[in-house]
Amino acid sequence: MSAYDTFINNSPALIVAIPLLFAFATPLISKLGGKLRNTWALLGVLVPSLIMFVLAFEVLKEGGMDTRFYLFGADSGNRFPLVGGHILRIAFAVDGMAVFMGVLISVVALSSVIYSMAYVKRYTGLDKYFTLLLLVLAANYGMVLTGDIFNLFVWFEISSISLSALTAFKANRGESFEGAAKYLMYSTVAGLLLLVAIGLLYGQYGHLNIKFLSSAIGGNTSMMMVDKIALGLMVTVFALKAGSVPMHMATPDAYGEAPAPITAMFVTASQAGLYAVFRTGFTLYGSNLTVTGETLHILGYILVVLGILSMFVGVTMALVQKDIKRLMAYHAISQTGYMLLGVGVGLAVLDTAQFAEYGRTAMTGGIFHIFNHALYKGLLFLTAGAIIYRTGTKDLNKMGGLGRDMKLTALFFIIGALAIAGIPPMNGFASKLLIYESVFKFNPIVGAIAMLVSLLTLASFVKVFYSVFMGPRRSEFKGGEVPATMLIGMAILGGVILVFSIFPSLVVTSLVDPAVNALTHIEGETTRSLTLFTGSGSWNTLVFLGAIFVAGIIALFLFMMGNKGTVPKGEGKKPYLFGNPTEIDGRPIVVPASNVYWGFTTALSKYYKPTEKAHSALFNDYMFWFVATAALLISIFAFLEVLT
């Protein structure tokens, strides 16, 4: 065993241990100065990220289906010492899906911590900030790497507590405490019900290790009631963490109040929650499909329904928001719907003939969307943070004209907004294309809803772009572009998005397919080409960009042939307001952001009035939705065969 092999064998533990160690040492180090603390925090994110990339390389080389185990406390780390048929240690199980999530978490955390260095400089209590940030990172890594359900619960709780403490970081604003309190209360109740589910499974089978539990569940002749109740509870709780409707209401509160780099970490934490949903469905309950197949199909349909609800409610509520970060948080909920939809379709047709036809493509799309979403949502939240940093306000109605001075931020915003709306050639389009084409074969109405939601996403980001960056320059927003470290943080995510956009098929074959292999234990294609084949179509970014380039040349040629001097100058460039002056007392007349889609929302007021009332911001209502959904899911699983 060479040193490299020992290193790889121990790397899952290192990936979690290093951020923990760095987190607890941060308050000591920060006594020595701010720059040292920043460097320490950066190292605390960089070192486990590099180890994660190396581990990812090793695992993905083999196709991702084999699970590597790391046992805490065992001498060689890889053998399972069994005592009387039971496993005695906490195990980390690393397969293709875990490594996929790990790479995602690393990239977003790196850009978040680099961005933080300039963003929070004006605040005090920074040692606690970086400590909690490293703890969140450790918790996220723990959630995706673990192979033990109680350990999953522990990391879940650590991430909830740290994130809610960080939400309240801007303690001068009282609303931060409201967002933090709601998120904490919601996550704690969810965690307790998760613990009940874990207790049920442990009490029934005596194992906590996912691998052993799944073979124990699969060893029955049919699924027992305990399994079904536990499944219903676990899916509800992890869907709450991921931010799916109807358990989504604490998410915009927390995302909107947290500082911008922390919202990027929130995104990674909710993706880890989504990972836990899929782990429960595919791995915990998926080892013997003759026993659990029916229930998994029902779970797939439930995930599809949750996905559709999340997509639609998320984007329609986002269209009416005035606060930039709450708007983006509702979009995060909407995009979670896409992932649930894609993987739900895959789960619903698992082990049937349609899986090879479109189920696998749907799963590939859903899982690819997880990575894309973390990247572009992280980038959008970081640009929102840059805007808030410069203007001091979160209200869209008060911003305007920033595009003239903040050109780089505007560029990153455009990249993120095009990606989230699924406009070619961005990576969002690639994953959404996979989802559209496969879900359309599953059910055409659902595919149509998915495309409509994309359209509304574009609409709401056009509104944000217009009200933030366009319009006349305002005199109260001085200072120009944001500091360089913030730009570097955004550039990391922007660069990765561009790479993913230009080579989507390579990303799919090297990162996403091993993840799908790991979840479904069905080997996929391994050919590498530059074209992404969706099963009924294909997409090649370079061909598209080439076509755009040629079209651009033709457009330029036509433009050059036109008359010169026909564009109005000076006074004529101002907006047409029936000849009226466009400024009153020096303040420009603009359409404020709340009124941009006035017509749309008033026309749909039959839908909007009840929905806005349902989002009442009352905590008891949040709990109602959670308990109702949990009860509904448990009843569906437990009693469906009685009904059918």
Binding residues (CB under 8 A) for other proteins: these are 83-86, 88, 150, 154, 157, 161, 164-165, 168, 171, 174-175, 177-182, 184-185, 188-189, 191-192, 195-196, 198-199, 202-203, 206, 208, 252-253, 256-257, 326, 563, 565-568, 570-572, 574, 576, 578-581, 615-620, 623-624, 627
Contact, 555 vs 548, CB < 8 A?
A: no
Instruction: Name the token pair of 625.
Output: 């939705």
In terms of CB distance, is 129 or 442 closer to other proteins? 129
Distance (Å, whole) CA 453 – CA 141:
31
In terms of CB distance, is 405 or 621 closer to other proteins? 621
Residue with tokens 């010492």: 81
- Smallest gap from Cβ 157 to other proteins, in A, equals 5
Instruction: Name the token pair of 464.
Output: 């944000």
Exposure b/e, 393-410, CB count within 10 A at least 16 = b = ebebebbbbbbebbebbb
- Smallest gap from Cβ 383 to other proteins, in A, equals 22
In terms of CB distance, is 478 or 564 closer to other proteins? 564
Contact, 211 vs 149, CB < 8 A?
A: no
- Smallest gap from Cβ 265 to other proteins, in A, equals 17
Sign of CA dihedral 346, 352, 355, 358: negative
- Smallest gap from Cβ 617 to other proteins, in A, equals 4
- Smallest gap from Cβ 587 to other proteins, in A, equals 18
In terms of CB distance, is 557 or 576 closer to other proteins? 576
- Smallest gap from Cβ 186 to other proteins, in A, equals 9
Instruction: Name the token pair of 255.
Output: 């995302």
- Smallest gap from Cβ 612 to other proteins, in A, equals 8
Distance (Å, whole) CA 513 – CA 173:
45
In terms of CB distance, is 404 or 615 closer to other proteins? 615
Contact, 15 vs 145, CB < 8 A?
A: yes
In terms of CB distance, is 161 or 421 closer to other proteins? 161
In terms of CB distance, is 340 or 638 closer to other proteins? 638
Residue with tokens 């059918």: 644
> Which residues, 6+ apart, have CB-to-CB distance to 342 below 8 Å?
307, 362, 363, 364, 365, 366, 367, 369, 434, 435, 438, 439
Query: Which among 202, 63, 102, 127 is positioned nearest to 522, based on CA atoms?
Result: 63
Instruction: Name the token pair of 461.
Output: 């980001």
In terms of CB distance, is 256 or 359 closer to other proteins? 256
- Smallest gap from Cβ 418 to other proteins, in A, equals 27
Cis check: omega of the bond before 581, within 30 degrees of 0? no
Query: Which among 22, 301, 279 is positioned nearest to 149, based on CA atoms?
Result: 279
Contact, 204 vs 224, CB < 8 A?
A: yes
In terms of CB distance, is 160 or 292 closer to other proteins? 160
- Smallest gap from Cβ 261 to other proteins, in A, equals 20
In terms of CB distance, is 572 or 599 closer to other proteins? 572
Query: Which among 486, 478, 487, 525 is positioned nearest to 506, based on CA atoms?
Result: 525
DSSP designation for 209: B
Length, in residues, of the chain: 644
- Smallest gap from Cβ 578 to other proteins, in A, equals 7
Instruction: Name the token pair of 448.
Output: 């149509």
